């Protein structure tokens, strides 16, 4: 994929990733106990959809651009849309939150954020964008080291987003390793792994490896905007979520069909199932 993320900000893959994050935050907020949010490949945190990079691709027009004025959005989508509308109070869609800003706005006073960005320029921009929020720590190291460096957290609950650029051939394998490390160090961690859907043969190996992972349970949520029959394009994207909170599966069953219809570019579809089902006692 063409990374840096500003080229893709607000596209259909961002919509899926960010609305799931919003639902995780909302479901965790049902309990007062604090949690930590960890972001392995955070980016800069804020994006200008009318800026040079986003304008070159215009991918956001086929993503958040299609949802911006939706009046029939399912209830679980509203938190996500309200954040974006609040960032654009004049009614013109220009500013879009990356996962760091979304997390900063949706978490509570008692929660903590650890944001990691390896790219030096993006890391500095992330620090500037997060300045002034004492709950946020910005790290400038290797994102794959985050599970070993920061888990277990002092909070009893943790959410980790693993969202690499997928510039290198081994990154799906590294996602498996990172999940195993996270679960090995803090078993109850909610790990959300984002991945592009392009080459199905490669993904089948990824799924098999994930089925053998240490996750106690693992939910797969995928959104397609094209049929998955052309390896050279972004046909859709998915999230694997370890230890999803109760209620998330039900919400996604309501959200994904609506999104597949709204965001389809040639043919939309969706999938929601368990790669690792919860073991019954």
Q: Which residues are catalytic?
A: 163
- Residue 41 is assigned to a ligand binding site: yes
Contact 25, 244 (CB under 8 A): no
- Residue 18 is assigned to a ligand binding site: yes
- Residue 12 is assigned to a ligand binding site: no
How many other C-beta atoms can be found within 10 angstroms of the C-beta atom of residue 205? 13
- Residue 143 is assigned to a ligand binding site: yes
Q: Which two tokens stand for residue 19?
A: 């609305």
Binding site members for S-adenosyl-L-methionine: 18, 41, 99, 117, 142-143, 163
């Amino acid at each position: 994929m063409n990374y840096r993320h500003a080229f893709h900000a607000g596209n259909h893959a961002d919509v899926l990733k960010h609305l799931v994050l919003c639902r995780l935050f909302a479901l965790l907020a049902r309990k007062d106990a604090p949690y930590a949010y960890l972001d392995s490949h955070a980016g800069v945190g804020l994006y200008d959809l009318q800026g040079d990079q986003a304008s070159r691709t215009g991918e956001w027009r086929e993503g958040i651009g299609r949802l911006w004025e939706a009046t029939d959005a399912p209830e679980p989508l509203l938190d996500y849309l309200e954040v974006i509308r609040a960032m654009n109070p004049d009614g013109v869609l220009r500013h879009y939150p990356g996962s760091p800003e979304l997390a900063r706005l949706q978490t509570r006073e008692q929660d903590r954020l650890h944001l990691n960005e390896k790219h030096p320029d993006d890391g500095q921009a992330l620090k500037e964008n997060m300045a002034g929020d004492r709950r946020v720590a910005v790290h400038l190291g290797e994102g794959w080291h985050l599970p070993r460096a920061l888990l277990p957290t002092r909070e009893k609950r943790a959410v980790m987003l693993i969202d690499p650029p997928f510039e290198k051939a081994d990154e799906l394998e590294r996602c498996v390793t990172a999940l195993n490390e996270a679960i090995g160090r803090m078993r109850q961690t909610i790990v959300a792994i984002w991945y592009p859907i392009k080459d199905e043969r490669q993904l089948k190996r990824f799924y098999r490896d994930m089925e053998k992972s240490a996750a106690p349970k693992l939910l797969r949520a995928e959104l397609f905007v094209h049929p998955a029959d052309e390896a050279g394009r972004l046909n859709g994207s998915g999230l694997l979520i370890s230890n999803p909170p109760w209620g998330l599966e039900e919400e996604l069953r309501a959200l994904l069909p609506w999104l597949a219809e709204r965001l389809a570019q040639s043919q939309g579809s969706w999938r929601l199932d368990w790669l690792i089902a919860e073991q019954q006692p």
